[in-house]
Structure formats: structure tokens, C-alpha cells
Amino acid sequence: MITLKDFQSASFEKKCDWVTGYSNFLSTRRLGDAKVYLYHAGEFFIEVYYSPTYKKVLMINAFSNISSLDPYLDSISLYDLGINL
């Protein structure tokens, strides 16, 4: 299991490997022209910002602050993840 700090300091390629191999997809949303995919990785969450126009990942953001999930509240249930607030 990787920590949030280790994930944040990892290379872009390692982050991509971790997202595809060790996290669970939760939801997606639009942000301007980009799609933002939300994943759960045990102790933290990962957002993958993808540009359909350029067909590439623009950025990967990881966080553990529950308030950062606000844009997704209509489409996810934290209860299903076993997270107690």
C-alpha cells in the first residue's frame, strides 16, 4: 500500500501505473473541455484530468481531504467505501 505522500512525489508514469493497477474507479465529471476521473486508493483519492481533444492525461491529483469530494457528491456514496465521517 502506498501513502498519499509517496504517491504525490512519484513520477507521472508511476502514478499512472498505480491508478490503473491499484485503485478503484468511482466517478467522472466534466471540467471545461476536460474529463476528470475519480479513483479511490485506500487511504486517499485520485483525480485524473484527461483531455479528449488531445487524447492525453493532463494532470493527476491526489488528496485525502473529504471536502475535495464536493464536486462528486451527487454521484458517489462514501458509505459504500466504508468511510466514516
Provide the whole-model pTM. Answer: 0.86
Q: How far is CA 16 from CA 7, 33, 46, 58, 71, in A?
A: 10, 21, 10, 12, 22
pLDDT, residue 64, reads: 95
Give the angle 54-59-64 at the CA atoms, nearest 5°: 150
Give the start-to-end residue ranges of the domains of the chain: 4-65
Report pLDDT digits (tens) over 31-82. Answer: 999 999 999 998 999 999 999 999 999 999 999 998 998 898 777 666 666 6
